[in-house]
Structure 1
């Protein structure tokens, strides 16, 4: 006869003597859900140490009858962390289970949704917060530096307002932007839109079949940033993370000190003058910066509601005096579900307030401050005997760097407000209909002033110069999507359909004025200057608007989790396109084969995962400017009629109704693998991407055209390469774990064409970049059949007995540089690295953790402009020189004092480098039952050691644009950063 709840069972004593033992049975019931509150069927529920067990039903509910002293229930389910719940006096136990990631069930973010890693058929990389680069970072990209094969994140300087440069699978455009599309919680943003400490994961859509769902915005790849969230049915917790950093310059260029300079004066070198002082100008314009970051997060939730409130404050100082960046990031997100989970609401309010010193007109840094800190005469005093700044206005591009700092006043104030709301309705099981709406508002107010004592007054007669400007950008987004999952036997389907509408409005106004009666007003009384009244100073205002709408569809199919298909298409229209090309289609298809799930692999127990995948997709790139396809009018010209200047109206450019998107076609073949119970995992990808209809400015006849240039789609380019990633859990013991990963990628770029049937570039090339005054030569040549980034100049082979360059002529024979001809120039290097390698290590010993990140780039050259300008004796007439300026060249003798500056291959250096990029050592305290639940302290160093033969500050130089590999002599210096931090959980 079965027992009912509360029934009594009587057991005789073991030996037949003594008292009988009486136990009462109790029935425990409840509901088991996942973190989103969705009921979990099939969860195992058992008595710990006993035989009594049951499972949850389709509604996640369970009921189990146990002895009164059963003690503990154990809940277990595949893909979720097991939980143990001690039984008390109650009879209801509800449990929320937390997903436990494995290589198979790990969820990655894809376009408009998520997908289990096992079913991904495209090239997608996912990095969770626990695997981010540790220590101090300034933007989201630096969190995954060296973590994703093929994604090259480069930090070219230590300017507090700079962001990392990103190159994903090579350069794919000539004139359009190279930055990937960045989406934060599904809404477009930038790498600095959200605080790095508020990011939960970053997913990178690398190939065309993954990015095609974003149409004309996906050519440069897509970075999906997911912010941290609150959890339903969780107690409130407070997380505090704070750290403090300081920096020093990575490498000081070896310029002459006052003693060395005076030796040149004693030798009577042209341009050398001794002014009697001993000044280290670089020390005068630099500082030992101290920066601090505070992040406080409150999160929690009830059964139907979750919330998170995050506040991040960053007060950053730079190596150059007065350079700073202060940012406040507030964010609040609330998620709520109702009607038994059928309706879900989400509201997200965030943004930032930013303020920094404006060291240049509209910017944060004036490059000639650092350059003059190197080149100003070390025997010159900062001020003369009368207290005035020492200046030498007779010299070109030469100014007292301390004066440039002290006689400049400026402030940039930026604010960003992002409001995001979603409504998700589930009318029937497995069908989610979501409406997303967002508004992103950006406002910037900037002011800049150069006093009457500034170099601009002495050199240019400005007599006080002011600039004022403001910018406003508004971006509205509305997206409606429907997602349906269905399983029929061994067949799994996921169908996505959607509509997207985006409107962007940009406004900008600025004005300049000079010749002020006093410095007292700074930039706050623009009308007091006289230049505007005389018609000398400019002012301008501008507004533009563009719209982008798209319809998209995607099908995911899986048969027995072995054979996988993903197909998508997006039809998108943009107001930036010409009248004849308003819409474009962007299809994609990818296939996958989970080989490890086949029956013939059952005995291959060392193989945990093995998936072959291949895909093809087409993505696009919008033109940067919104009105290039239209007839635009110009009101800036005047004509003299009857003795009066009359404003005239005329077209300003040639219209191009055929203007369209740049189209990238990409094929990707990949293999994902896992061995030895996934102790070894990784992927291999081979890709080929061809970009067609590249935008370029072409020369056209007049007539029929009004002007002799037009922007049109006619060029094409190719990139191909290999990516390899391996992750190894090398040691996995109770007290010691070591995980290591290796990423390698290679890219080969080639320009296929610069012409089509309508527009031709007869020469087959054009030149890009400039060395600047006084050399005034182009730096790179963009040529059919060659890669982007080729340095184009004279190949130096020797110097003659008088110390003048000998170069290689077009016939291959040496000739004096004085006899140079334009056709003697040739390719003398390339600035794009051919290979990237990174090695990441995480070690844990009891409560200690150690993270070591190393990375490098190989197979490229750098134009060292600091040497090209200041390793030549002739530049002594413009200030100080490198201490090597009078060393022997080619083992013969120094350059002649009258050898003019030249752009020659002698200054092209191999840029290969290997960096110990970050080392972080942390300790986690065991606190027991205290108010502080967790405490971690850590110390970190970034950009610690660089192994390279390059003679400049840092071989990590620009990798984007048409002149990669250029080490600008005005660059903000690179630094080594040291960090102390702590994180608390309450």
Structure 2
């Protein structure tokens, strides 16, 4: 049966899916890929003066589908050439450029192989190919024949590789299948393998007659095109601070949330994942730290349009680019102050239809789980805690002994209620191909199915992306992009509250009665919540999200003005969400040991239903003019763009309570009494104008100036528009004549930028007077609804403005084997909106408006260092990156007479302020001599209680002793370490990430209401254990030990093995190709597999647990996957 299904699947996948899909979706047709003749007939316009041959060939690669294969040394790729050709076939351009240099070319597929005739070359069998008429070199006599093959790291053959005997002029080049034949002398020789885009290798040949070699790619980063604001640029020409990662890196050990896949892989990006809850695991995403008191999130654009990216399928992504400084981000003006993230999705490429499938299945487990006390430990330490409080023990010595021996139960609530492993599956199918002169297409279908830790929790996601490009005429191109997503999120009605219940539940209770009814009991009176009832019988909460995204784009290249083009892009996005929560009561039992009987209880709250919908629509229109020309040694490009954004949102809510029966979960079934409904709507718009000019001289001296003039609905007339300019410059020192011939220096560039960008993500319409609906007062003993004043408006409210300075250094050594970047940045954000609540008396009597008064500084540095090489058949790369960012409050509203010890001005952002601990009291004499901590002469203080420092010296511990303690909860230094190794079809990738320079505030009250306690509290103070980690235990709230203090601050430094993948590719086997596969790859991967941290019971990325709180969070998850990738 399995074989039948497998055969059927192969048959279905190999039928003519291309024509059927395009007929249904696009109604378009396209031709098969162009043969070599059509490639050479492609029209090309090129004007370059005194440029290197390498630069000319790179230009031709970018503007045609050809790929040039050559040895830079053999063809002298740094030779300067000039070429001026208008709308001529590619063959004419090649003849114009190559003939004077006596370089011949031949075409193999879409690869054009260049070689010099002066090197005697052995004939290698090749398929028919068009070639220049230059004569072949004669053979030289030799004594033996060596046959070999040259492949890339994935096992694909490499044609056109130069194979030469070192120290001689004898050599050859590989054929279309990567094979070569070369006659050698009898004595040992060294062969030199070289090809553009790959590292040159030398291999010793002694007696071999058959030989194979794997080539490692060279650093071509400078020739890569990176996405920047409203366009693209060559990496070598970028003068701003930009980090880029290719989509292929995101599909290695993929995570359900795309944002988490970026962690540790890009400089300037600081992410913190505080939850592993399916569908709710978005991390905090900061670019170079915090710089405002409000929204610090980066602006995210997908294919040029503002959209969320966390839920995208990683198989759709071509690249992710982060714009970090003003030079790169100022073109986004009012929304760019916190950085910009540009997501580019994949598009179709020239060639036959390619079908790819990637699928994986696995499971998830918590990275850290809290270790709670078992029944024996609970009974023992609860008794001690009650005695310390002056109470009698809860359990007799006989019962304690029974817990120890197992005669009485000991329940692991965490293991009983939660799944030990939560299943996860991901599947993706893509279809791509097409023709440049016709239609190119990329289609992606993705499915994610992720279970949660408890029975009613799961997340399902379905992704669709269709990107179509049609070259209507030589000068006119139209693109249509469609993205859609459907999400289903389910959980119990209590949500994450179950984790608090699990920690607090008494281990001395059985989970079920003999009749399999849930048991509860958290409080000292024996009543409370049932963990099983909460997860299985308390009702449900379900949310459905539907997303549609459509973009239509047209580009016209004006033939009457060379280099001029016009572009229009219109997008329409729609989001709809429906949420429903149905709370149902349940029965649970509590065992009374005094009478050896179970007593029934009903969970409180009754049967309640709430439903809500939310929907929004966003339309974006961009119209731009682009100009790009080269005049001799001068290159210039310019952009003018206008952008209009319209946004509309509305929501509805309704609820009914105290249902007679939980049988019907619909609004009509609930009573009319206390029913509620509500809703709201809003409509906003933005308008902006963008300009940018780039200039370069000989691609050596680089200048850029840009601006954005933005208008926002958030501000009043006269304060509504803002201008955000930026300038930047770069100097490619390695292109200077005195360094061009240097063999060890492949790149050296310094760059600097200065500019401004803004932030308008603040509450809207603060400049208007208004009223709040739904308010009321008690008049005459009854509640009267009415309106309430919104507060004092501010007619002068305007933008928050950030001024940014960035200086960077980029370098490459030894043909790109070693490369890196260094950046220093400084950003001052001023006019931050804050109310003057501190300096104005609280008796003022009105809600104060927000004003542009706050100032925050943010500065730091980034560094990244890479090394890549190939030793024999082992190819590897190592990369380390780090980002240091420190945000400091320069001004915020504070009382004028505030003590310097608690003044936040001048302190790091989110700095902790609390009492400072001096350890634990060890003797009564220490207590008697200490400042008063309890307001009553320290009469309630006992040995083993926390001791505080009298910071102001008044002999009293109170709020006047609060001051700056520890560090903030924002990492000052984040770092990543990435490793990639491949050998003989195997490839291994690993990503380590960590953070340091921050602390977490984590405090619990063990045994409050006789609930259970974390096992770490076993290390609490006793006369026999004076050096304990925790203070004396109390079965209740001991106020002295509950104060916010440095005692509860933890060093949160950590390092994780974020991603690990081991894979094997079978494409080197002929049987795979005969079966119709372009590639077959199997892999095992994992996420968050290892965590190194001093925090053992909490995840270091967990949210702070505030004083007085006994809450717990949905734990972060580690994932194990097995998967397969197929290409047809």
* Alignment TM-score, normalising by the size of structure 1: 0.84
CA gap 1:847/1:698 in 2 versus in 1, 3 angstroms: same
Q: Show the counterpart of 2:471.
A: 337
CA drift at 1:272:
4.5
Matched, 1:327 2:461: yes
Matches within 5 A, 1:804-823: 805-811=945-951, 820-823=957-960
| CA distance in 2 between partners of 1:369 and 1:919 (Å) | 31
| CA distance in 2 between partners of 1:71 and 1:470 (Å) | 60
Matched, 1:500 2:643: yes
**Matched-pair contact (CA < 8 Å) for 1:281–1:378:** yes
Identify, as 1 or 2, the structure richer in strand. Answer: 1
CA gap 1:753/1:703 in 2 versus in 1, 3 angstroms: closer
Q: Show the counterpart of 1:279.
A: 411
Identify, as 1 or 2, the structure richer in helix. Answer: 2
User: Which digits, 9 at most, give the CA deviation of each residue in 1:402-429, with x for residues without a partner?
Assistant: 2221122221111000011101111133
Q: Show the counterpart of 1:791.
A: 912
Q: Show the counterpart of 1:486.
A: 629
| CA distance in 2 between partners of 1:950 and 1:41 (Å) | 55
Q: Show the counterpart of 1:134.
A: 252
Q: How many residues align?
A: 904
- Match of 1:62, SS state, is helix
| CA distance in 2 between partners of 1:626 and 1:603 (Å) | 59
User: Which digits, 9 at most, give the CA deviation of each residue in 1:56-104, with x for residues without a partner?
Assistant: 9652342799xxxx996961489xxxxx996559999xx9x99968122
CA gap 1:675/1:940 in 2 versus in 1, 3 angstroms: same
CA gap 1:567/1:71 in 2 versus in 1, 3 angstroms: closer
- Match of 1:664, SS state, is strand
CA drift at 1:884:
2.4
Q: Show the counterpart of 1:576.
A: 714
- Match of 1:315, SS state, is strand
| CA distance in 2 between partners of 1:465 and 1:829 (Å) | 45
**Residue of structure 2 aligned with 1:973, choices 1072, 1093, 1115:** 1115
- Match of 2:1017, SS state, is coil
User: Which digits, 9 at most, give the CA deviation of each residue in 1:137-178, with x for residues without a partner?
Assistant: 122222322111121222223211111221211111112x22
Deviates more, 1:537-546 or 1:112-121: 537-546
| CA distance in 2 between partners of 1:427 and 1:787 (Å) | 53
Matched, 1:724 2:863: yes
| CA distance in 2 between partners of 1:703 and 1:902 (Å) | 26
**Matched-pair contact (CA < 8 Å) for 2:39–2:66:** no
| CA distance in 2 between partners of 1:595 and 1:45 (Å) | 26
CA gap 1:885/1:790 in 2 versus in 1, 3 angstroms: farther
What RMSD over aligned residues (CA atoms) do the two structures have, in Å? 3.9
- Match of 1:373, SS state, is helix
Deviates more, 1:800-809 or 1:602-611: 800-809
CA drift at 1:459:
8.3
CA gap 1:512/1:305 in 2 versus in 1, 3 angstroms: same
Matches within 5 A, 1:941-960: 941-957=1086-1102
**Matched-pair contact (CA < 8 Å) for 1:420–1:438:** yes
CA drift at 1:252:
2.6
CA drift at 1:109:
0.3
**Matched-pair contact (CA < 8 Å) for 1:412–1:444:** yes
Q: Show the counterpart of 1:565.
A: 703
| CA distance in 2 between partners of 1:290 and 1:335 (Å) | 38
Matches within 5 A, 1:652-801: 652-699=790-837, 707-729=846-868, 731-755=869-893, 762=896, 783-800=904-921, 801=923
Matched, 1:509 2:546: no
**Matched-pair contact (CA < 8 Å) for 2:504–2:522:** no
**Matched-pair contact (CA < 8 Å) for 1:272–1:876:** no
| CA distance in 2 between partners of 1:329 and 1:616 (Å) | 40
CA gap 1:927/1:827 in 2 versus in 1, 3 angstroms: same
Q: Show the counterpart of 1:290.
A: 423
- Match of 2:502, SS state, is helix
Structure 1 unaligned blocks of 5 or more: 1-25, 79-83, 767-779
CA gap 1:259/1:704 in 2 versus in 1, 3 angstroms: closer
User: Which digits, 9 at most, give the CA deviation of each residue in 1:504-538, with x for residues without a partner?
Assistant: 1111111222100110112x2x24333xx434x54
**Residue of structure 2 aligned with 1:402, choices 532, 537, 549:** 532
| CA distance in 2 between partners of 1:879 and 1:206 (Å) | 47
Deviates more, 1:107-116 or 1:655-664: 655-664
CA gap 1:395/1:576 in 2 versus in 1, 3 angstroms: farther
CA drift at 1:785:
0.6
CA gap 1:782/1:352 in 2 versus in 1, 3 angstroms: farther
- Match of 2:222, SS state, is coil
CA drift at 1:803:
3.5
**Matched-pair contact (CA < 8 Å) for 1:420–1:439:** yes
| CA distance in 2 between partners of 1:467 and 1:85 (Å) | 75
**Matched-pair contact (CA < 8 Å) for 1:793–1:827:** yes
Q: Show the counterpart of 2:186.
A: none
**Matched-pair contact (CA < 8 Å) for 2:500–2:1110:** no
Matches within 5 A, 1:133-532: 134-161=252-279, 162-175=281-294, 177-232=295-350, 234-264=351-381, 272=394, 277-287=409-419, 288-302=421-435, 303-340=437-474, 342-360=475-493, 366-384=495-513, 388-392=517-521, 399-406=529-536, 407-428=538-559, 429-453=562-586, 461-522=604-665, 524=666, 526-530=667-671
Q: Show the counterpart of 1:824.
A: 961
| CA distance in 2 between partners of 1:781 and 1:689 (Å) | 25
CA gap 1:40/1:244 in 2 versus in 1, 3 angstroms: closer
User: Which digits, 9 at most, give the CA deviation of each residue in 1:274-307, with x for residues without a partner?
Assistant: 8954321111232111110000001110332101
Q: Show the counterpart of 2:971.
A: 833
CA gap 1:223/1:808 in 2 versus in 1, 3 angstroms: same
User: Which digits, 9 at most, give the CA deviation of each residue in 1:905-937, with x for residues without a partner?
Assistant: 222111111222222111111243321110111
CA gap 1:952/1:789 in 2 versus in 1, 3 angstroms: farther
Q: Show the counterpart of 1:20.
A: none
Matched, 1:914 2:1052: no
CA gap 1:43/1:451 in 2 versus in 1, 3 angstroms: closer
CA drift at 1:599:
1.7
Deviates more, 1:665-674 or 1:279-288: 279-288
CA gap 1:220/1:965 in 2 versus in 1, 3 angstroms: farther
**Matched-pair contact (CA < 8 Å) for 1:408–1:448:** yes
**Matched-pair contact (CA < 8 Å) for 1:754–1:761:** no
CA drift at 1:129:
2.3
**Matched-pair contact (CA < 8 Å) for 2:696–2:703:** yes
| CA distance in 2 between partners of 1:28 and 1:208 (Å) | 44
| CA distance in 2 between partners of 1:367 and 1:42 (Å) | 54
| CA distance in 2 between partners of 1:56 and 1:291 (Å) | 57
CA gap 1:37/1:485 in 2 versus in 1, 3 angstroms: closer
**Matched-pair contact (CA < 8 Å) for 1:411–1:448:** yes
CA gap 1:693/1:587 in 2 versus in 1, 3 angstroms: same
CA drift at 1:188:
1.1
Q: Show the counterpart of 2:1126.
A: 984
Q: Show the counterpart of 1:875.
A: 1008
Deviates more, 1:582-591 or 1:855-864: 855-864
**Matched-pair contact (CA < 8 Å) for 2:860–2:883:** yes
| CA distance in 2 between partners of 1:238 and 1:250 (Å) | 36
Matches within 5 A, 1:622-633: 622-633=760-771
CA drift at 1:939:
0.7
Deviates more, 1:264-273 or 1:934-943: 264-273
**Matched-pair contact (CA < 8 Å) for 1:797–1:814:** no
**Matched-pair contact (CA < 8 Å) for 2:274–2:283:** yes
| CA distance in 2 between partners of 1:259 and 1:640 (Å) | 53
| CA distance in 2 between partners of 1:394 and 1:955 (Å) | 30
